[in-house]
Structure 1
Amino acid sequence: MDGGIQSLFHDELKHGNISLKLSNVKISDQGTYKCFIPALEKNSFIQLLVVSDAISGPVISLSAINKARSGVVLQCESAGWYPEPELLWLDGEGNLLSAGPTETLRGPDDLYTVSSRVTVEKRHSNNITCRVQQRNTNQSRETHIHVPVLLYPSLFV
């Protein structure tokens, strides 16, 4: 373990509890751990998966109005993820929207920030959702935006 604190529950040893307590766990501590009991000549392995609790909910911002495409460009960003999440755009009926590639940045703390843009056209529902999720840890955060009809550029032409 890299810099964390490891200890046993000394008062519980007499009851057969040989649990290991890990404190100040970091992302770099993720991996497989082995417990060996010499008297019994037994091994036990456990996989430690570290999940970030510093996740910021996704934030949607109105990026630009693109008259050439007659749509509204929205940007969504969320930070503090580990492991790396995926970002999805959904319309009001829960259908997946086609969006640009997700940009992923990994900070010095090993946490990920993801962002993506989508162009919402008049044919889409006015209610748009940005969802950031990790399938392997079942973590998910989402935010919603209502795009007023008045923001669509073709109405100004």
Structure 2
Amino acid sequence: MLAVIGQTQDIVLPCKLDHPMDVVDETVEWSRSDLSPRFVHLWRSGEDLLIGQNPSYKNRTSVSIEKLKTGDASLKLTKVRLSDEGTYRCIIPELKPESSVELVVEADIQIIKVSPRVLECKSKGWYPEPEVFWLESEGKIITAGSKEMFRGSDDLYVLSSRLTLEKGHSNNITCRIQQNNQHREAKIHVPG
């Protein structure tokens, strides 16, 4: 499943029983084994039980009572972030069905040519605040001119960074946005 930061606000991770049945009173566990605590969302005895929920998912997950009545335990995840990327496991312990969903999160990064010698890298939808790097084709970091970052109305970071090309820079330039151990990048070829 693919979500694009800046375009995808909310996503529904599927988890449905083969045969429709009411699971409102059952336990539904959504988790990620690479997290601590691992619980993303827990539904038990007709209500959300979010005491042991991983804090990065606070106020961003839900299951639908109406859908649970038909055996659909899909998880709605709001304000998708890069850190949401991973494998989610849905299990209804009493009924033994289990499913996994791989969520891939892409960042919408754009490089635009402001003038023949100035490039601008723009992206939105990041949390927490990311770092921005400009790289030459050999992977050497180029010092950027300006960087602006602010939090949008959705509480996610919007960023913009400008680079003035100097003589001697290679023609292939990369804008890399890095957050924790993950990064996304966009490349541009600038004719000599």
Unpaired runs of at least 5, structure 1: 1-6, 13-18, 24-32, 36-45, 66-71, 150-157
Structure 2 match to 1:15: none
Q: Which of 133, 140, 147 is residue 190 of structure 2 equivalent to? A: 147
Matches within 5 A, 1:51-62: 52-53=81-82, 56-62=107-113
Are residue 22 (structure 1) and residue 41 (structure 2) matched?
Answer: yes
Contact 1:59 1:77 in 2 (8 A): yes
TM-score by length of 2: 0.49
Larger radius of gyration between Structure 1 and Structure 2: 1
The DSSP-based 3-state class of the residue aligned with 1:142 is strand
How much has 1:95 moved relative to structure 2?
A: 0.6
Are residue 95 (structure 1) and residue 140 (structure 2) matched?
Answer: yes
Structure 1 match to 2:55: 48
Equivalenced residues, count: 110
Q: Which of 27, 48, 62 is residue 10 of structure 1 equivalent to? A: 27
Q: Which of 120, 145, 152 is residue 107 of structure 1 equivalent to? A: 152
Contact 1:56 1:78 in 2 (8 A): yes
Structure 2 match to 1:41: none
Contact 1:73 1:119 in 2 (8 A): yes
The DSSP-based 3-state class of the residue aligned with 1:123 is coil
Structure 1 match to 2:93: none
TM-score by length of 1: 0.59
Give RMSD over aligned pairs: 3.0
Contact 1:102 1:115 in 2 (8 A): yes
Unpaired runs of at least 5, structure 2: 1-23, 30-37, 43-49, 58-79, 83-104
- Percent same amino acid among aligned pairs? 46
